Structure 1
Amino acid sequence: MRPTIAPFPAARPRRLRASEPLRALVRENGLSREDLIWPIFVRDGEGQLEEVTSMPGVMRRSVDLTVEAAAEAAELGIPAICIFPYTDPSLKTEGCEEAWNPDNLSNRAIRAIKQQVPGIAVMTDVALDPYNINGHDGFVQDGEILNDETIEALVKMTLAQAEAGADIIGPSDMMDGRIGAMRAALEDAGHRNVTIMSYAAKYASAFYGPFRDAVGASGALKGDKNTYQMDPANSDEAMRMIARDLSEGADMVMVKPGMPYLDICARVKTMFGTPTFAYQVSGEYAMIMAAAGNGWIDGEKAMFESLVAFKRAGCDGILTYFSPWVARLLKEG
């Protein structure tokens, strides 16, 4: 697009900024409750609610309180929640068998939510790190993250979640070829309508630290994830990963983290025109909350500005820990 603009003073762009009604009329992007997915951390027990120290206002909830959170999300008009388990360390092994246990924490939460709040979509996480004693997303052998063997486990995990009632499968592992294997397994098992939102462009980022605290993976991680998550310097590679995952059967794709990678979000939407999401990750949330808590920024304004940036970049939706806060404000007017 090549804009046409008259010379000054015939053109005074400030005319359209002169009042809120005028600004609203020409606003190019907006944020709605339907754009939100709320990530929720689930822990064992009953009636358990504990704050994640590095994420002010974010809680780990037992299954019963997770169901209450799902009901709150539905009442606020948030269309989907995403479940992440805080797994008991005693259940973490090198074989990660708990990952596909039909009665593991995530699957119990999915069933409880779908029974009591059937109208909300439930998204899950597919990766081995919550169940791996090594803290990695895949099996580890002699320091190497095994790709093909990990995919076999991820397929079993996917099917267990689909059987529990998951609506959206979210593979966050970054193993090569896992989307095709998951899609084929879902089709063969009769789960044709279960959707896949692939973490297709997931970067090896420093912004994940508070999340690892939230799921209890910080102390377990041995080494780093640079051999399977993407180099933050790369952009073209992200396009190749998106193309691959779409060709293997992904219904939606995700860029993670969010704000430092808005250029990737924009390229994905422009190049592929596919449903595109971003994850405003724990570190992004924690920075805004910490600055707001110290009185350095207006937290509410910073929250809205950060979320509108995703829409401006072309995202169809955002996974954000701010979901209930922003949904409540949008509902109130």
Structure 2
Amino acid sequence: MTMNDIAERQNTPHFLRLLRARSEIYRRATHLQLVQVTLTVVVPVVMAIVALFMPAIRPVAAAVSVSLTLIDIGFLDRALKRRLKTAALICERFDCDLLKLPWSKFAAGKPLEPEIIAEADRRWPKGDAKLIDWYPAAVGRAPLHLARIICQRTNLWYDAKLRENYSFLLVAGAVAIVLALVAAGLALNLPFTDFVVTVLVPATPVLSWAVRDAFRQRDAADAQKLARAEAEALWELALAGGCDDSECERRSREFQNSIFQRRTSNPLLLPFVYHWLRSGMEIDMNLGAADFLRQAGIAEVNQS
């Protein structure tokens, strides 16, 4: 039995267009992120390795490492945030239209110009295969006010879980790189001054970027968990009949404000790690949605 049309409408041209535009803006943001990582992590590490065997360039390696850190802070990080804001506005349009929530000028300001969405949609190169069924199709069996809560709660769970796993891998990878540099320096019996200039100074951008991003990811995950707990409390209230459709809509609009703000400020994940982590999580996401429907007494549809 279908109680709302979220599952069907999310795969219609309007919503797929928004998802393509959103994905294209995030794709551009990840390109900038890769430039950021290359300049602040890869280049200093490569220069440190070269400097181990070419002492003459050690002062240059140290100066370049410090300069690249300043470029990252002053330019690259700000440009990345602008792209994240654009992507967040497209996501907000998608959610508001799909979940039938009013647009909040207070939270999101003005919607994006349609030309920005059209241009990003036109340039998305990867088709629609990974955009189909963005939210669990099972939510179509729930009344709209319950389906909306499940979608928002799923959004919060998915994002927090990704960031928890990613933050661990980020720090582990950075520590491994630094330990390898330190081991190489010790193996070559570098004098203390050369060890500092050749190993410790170039390693600083690696650790500073990894630790900074890991803390951001962890903070974002913790914030998502708090919002998810509130969504789950609203779910329990709705099941108990403690809020009618209009009150649940008002509360969901408040959650959407929180989701939007986090989308504009949360750091990106490196794309190859993101695609690796998400593969199994989509199965868990759909199973979780089905479990919430069972809590509401909504039976699964048997498919033969």
Q: TM-score, normalised by structure 2?
A: 0.28
| Structure with more helix by fraction | 2
Q: Determine which structure has more spread, i.e. the larger CA radius of gyration.
A: 2
Q: TM-score, normalised by structure 1?
A: 0.26
| Structure with more strand by fraction | 1
Structure scoring higher RCO (CA < 8 A, sep ≥ 6) equals 2
